[in-house]
Structure 1
Amino acid sequence: MPLTAVTQHRARLGEGPFWDAPTQALYWVDIAGKQALRLIGNNVQIWQMPEHVSAFIPCASGDALVTLSSGVYRLDLDSPGLEPRLTLFCIADPQPGNRPNEARCDAQGRLWLGTMQNNIGDNGEDLPIERRSGGLFRIDPDQRVTPLLLGLGIPNTLLWSDDGTTLLFGDSLDGALNRYFIHTDGNLDNAEIWYGPDQNGGPDGSAVDAEGYVWNARWDGSCLLRLTPDGKVDRRIDLPVSRPTSCVFGGEDLKTLYITSAQSPRNHPLDGAVLSMRVDVPGKLCTRFAG
């Protein structure tokens, strides 16, 4: 499976890939570089954010959400890259010193946002994580914010079962992906370990394919793991980057896997690139924010 970089752009900390099928556009972010990026065809658009940005998700209303350190904002996609027009939508996590990390929309178009202690300095340098101050929040289109989990370290991966009754959600500080039963009132049951620590790096972001297999990016593992629906390793896909961060299925047939990555001390030439590769099984569609 040949891998290629889709653009010349190299992120400090690439994350949050989102494939928008109606416009055939790839959205992603550079958290440390404070950039929200969109690729349509061969055209890359970059919006320079005033703060660290962890997710860039189009909305049903035609604009997009960006999750910044100070809150969730709407971004006018017609605004210029160096002067983005931002409107505060809500503050999900009021905890001082936290920043957003993982964010995705469920099948109802509600945003689920995981936060953590900020570990990025003003110049993009790494800061130590000293506390589990993060949380998981659900944000409805009417701006209601519902806290679901607290005391998180590094939230990563947000995937739901087809029937909406279970959530796959990880904490990279524990090296585990956990499964949660979702009660009818929307609250989460206790965590069950679905895939625990291994020797392939730490769990980062994930995507799910049409067969229900989970493709998990392994930070510092230079690979993806394709995991069976019951949490066993189906295969390992080696990558030419040190720190893959997440992945998403895209393309007209949803058989192109896009993989974001971060810079690393190893300085591999493709570190920070968005990679693409063709796969045999299509993925599942991403859902826009319903607001």
Structure 2
Amino acid sequence: MEWQPVVSQRYRLAEGPFWDQASQRLFWVDIAGQLACLLEGNSYREWRLAEPVSAFIPTHRGDALVTLRSGVYRLDLDSPGEKPRLSLLCVPDPDSGNRANEARCDAAGNLWLGSMQNNLGPFGEDIPVTRRTGGLFCIDAQARVTRLASNIGIANTLAWDADGCHVYTADTLEGVIYRYPIEGAALGPRSVWARPHEHGHPDGSALDREGYLWNARWDGHCLIRFAPDGCVDSIISVPAARPTSCVFGGPDLRTLFVTTAEEEGGFAGAVLATEAPVAGTACHRFAG
């Protein structure tokens, strides 16, 4: 697979790629750099925020959500990059020592958000994660928050199977991907779906149309494509040691976008794209 950066800029901790099929736009963030980034064709825009931002997701209303340490906010996409207009939607996690991490919307447009102990200092420097204080939350279109899980180390990956009966989510501290049955407005008992692997630690993921999960592997220089039963199907090399997440995009959802983190060599800190051998599944906007 041949990888190319989608923009020339490099980021400290690029994350959370989201492809909006309706507008053919790619959204992502630089968590440590406090940037929300948007690419439409060859036109690139960014908004500089006052806090680390972990996800940037468009809404049916026409604005976008940004998940910050202090809460989930609406971002006016017509506001200037240096003075973004924000309005608070909700504060899912009441623990002031935590920050938002992974966030995705399910097919109904509910925002699912995983939190973790804040691991970023005032200048974006790393702080060791020593507490499993993270949680998993669901926010509906009316901004009502439901806590779904607790005692999570580093919440990563949010993906749903084709019938919406199960959700996959990773705990990077434990090195595993779990599967939860969805039981109405709650989750059933979790099971280990994919165990630790020698190729790095599980980060963000995307599902393809065959039901296989493509998982970015922090410190693994690769993505792992997991079969529906959780077994390793293939390993896809990435020219960066720390791929952080991935998403399928393009008109036919056959372009694979991968975000990466800053480190030495290769395409570190770049947002990369390549042609995938299989089409992916579409992202969903927030319903509110």
What is residue 254 of structure 1 aligned with on the other side? 253
Q: How many residues align?
A: 288
Shift of 1:174: 0.4
Counterpart amino acid of residue 23 in structure 2: T
Query: Does residue 100 of structure 2 align to residue 100 of structure 1?
Result: yes
What is residue 205 of structure 1 aligned with on the other side? 204
> What does residue range 27-176 of structure 1 map to in structure 2 within 5 Å?
27-176=27-176
Counterpart amino acid of residue 143 in structure 1: A
What is residue 4 of structure 1 aligned with on the other side? 4
Counterpart amino acid of residue 16 in structure 1: G
Query: Does residue 262 of structure 2 align to residue 263 of structure 1?
Result: yes
Shift of 1:21: 0.7
Counterpart amino acid of residue 7 in structure 2: T
List per-residue Cα deviations over 1:198-242 (Å, max 9, x = no partner): 100000000000000110000000000111111111111111101
TM-score normalised by length of structure 1: 0.98
> What does residue range 182-197 of structure 1 map to in structure 2 within 5 Å?
182-184=182-184, 186-197=185-196
Take 1:268 and 1:107, find their aligned partners in 2: how far apart are those partners?
Answer: 38
What is residue 233 of structure 2 aligned with on the other side? 234
Where in structure 1 do 4 or more consecutive aligned residues deviate above 2 Å?
A: none
Match of 2:274 among 258, 274, 277: 277
Counterpart amino acid of residue 273 in structure 1: A
What is residue 21 of structure 1 aligned with on the other side? 21
Counterpart amino acid of residue 210 in structure 2: E
Shift of 1:269: 3.8
Counterpart amino acid of residue 202 in structure 1: H
Residue 253 of structure 1 aligns to a residue whose secondary structure is: coil
TM-score normalised by length of structure 2: 0.99
Shift of 1:43: 1.2
List per-residue Cα deviations over 1:47-104 (Å, max 9, x = no partner): 0011000000000000000000100000000000000000001010010111000000
List per-residue Cα deviations over 1:150-174 (Å, max 9, x = no partner): 1110000001112111111110010
What is residue 221 of structure 2 aligned with on the other side? 222
Counterpart amino acid of residue 227 in structure 1: F
Take 1:141 and 1:279, find their aligned partners in 2: how far apart are those partners?
Answer: 33
Take 2:243 and 2:266, find their aligned partners in 1: how far apart are those partners?
Answer: 13
Aligned alpha-carbon RMSD (Å): 0.7
